[in-house]
Amino acid sequence: MNLETFLDPYALALVGGGTIASAVLRTSAGDLARALLALRTLPRRRFAADPLLEQITAFGRIARRHGPVALDKSVIADPDVAAAIADIVDGHGPDAVESRLRYLRQARIERHCAAADVWAGMAEAAPAMGMVGTLVGLVAMFVQMTDPQAIGGAMAVALLATLYGALLANLVAMPVASRLRAAARVEAFERRRLEEPLVALAAREQPRGTVVRSWHGASEAA
């Protein structure tokens, strides 16, 4: 079987270009960029909270010996844990730390879902663009009925457009969307494990008898 038989630049341009155009028109620039950048995460191992839990335990020992201010010099790669530790160093209470962590976790979930939705939308659009390519090919075929050679090229566009739409939807876009959603669910569950030890650390290190400010700017009595 000659694979070149299944390659047609016009059909590919109609389906691929139409699918991309649909994604651009229905998605904000930020979500579209996020969906493309999310492709880098697919080969990676799924998020696991265990290394961060060990780091939080180490932070607890440091705070117990040297006070929470000593944590300000710690190098923390994870942004959510870094934000919580910064709140603890600033004297925020456990409620404020818990609120911050929940907000960051929910915001992260929304970003992941937005990226997955872009790919799911492309999976929906690709078969429709394949049908559009088929109709364009049929129109070109009927217009050139007097030219046998032109009929063959138009027929190839019509048939291959449907094939490209099905392949793009079922072998590219939908698998990417499914994997992104699965990774997002795992990360949301794992990040939920980080909240309890960080909140406990905030409760233990919260200054007594002072007024502190929550992460969103409201005053709280310690």
Say if residue 222's pLDDT is above 90.
Answer: no
Which residues, including other chains, have CB under 8 Å from residue 195's CB and lie 6 or more apart? 98, 101, 102, 105
Say if residue 84's pLDDT is above 70.
Answer: yes
Q: pLDDT at position 219, please?
A: 43
Q: Which H or E run contains 196? A: helix 174-205
For tokens 């998020």, the residue is 47
Which residues, including other chains, have CB under 8 Å from residue 64's CB and lie 6 or more apart? none
Q: Where are the domains of the chain?
A: 8-206
User: For residue 133, what are its two tokens?
Assistant: 């390519």
Q: pLDDT at position 208, please?
A: 64
* pLDDT-above-70 percentage for the chain: 92
Q: pLDDT at position 214, please?
A: 47
Largest CA distance in the chain: 93
Say if residue 97's pLDDT is above 70.
Answer: yes
Mean per-residue pLDDT, 99-106: 95
Q: pLDDT at position 203, please?
A: 93
Provide φ and ψ at 48, rounded to 5°: -130, 135
Q: Are 197 and 59 in contact (CB under 8 A)?
A: no
Q: Per mean pLDDT, which range of 51-55, 151-155, 159-163 is the poorest?
A: 151-155
- CA atoms 12, 13, 15, 19: torsion sign: positive
pLDDT in tens, 16-69: 999 999 999 999 999 999 999 999 989 989 999 999 999 999 999 999 999 989
How high does pLDDT run on average in the chain? 89
Q: Cα–Cα distances in Å, from 203 out to 49, 92, 207, 222?
A: 21, 9, 9, 10
Q: Per mean pLDDT, which range of 72-76, 88-92, 106-110 is the poorest?
A: 72-76
pLDDT in tens, 165-212: 999 999 999 999 999 999 999 999 999 999 999 999 999 988 765 444
Q: pLDDT at position 188, please?
A: 94
Mean per-residue pLDDT, 1-17: 84
Q: For the residues of 127-168, what is the DSSP string, one character each?
A: HHHHHHHHHHHHHHHHHTTT-HHHHHHHHHHHHHHHHHHHHH
Distance spanning both ends of the chain, measured CA to CA:
76
Q: pLDDT at position 209, please?
A: 53
Closest CA to 18 of 124, 170, 143: 124
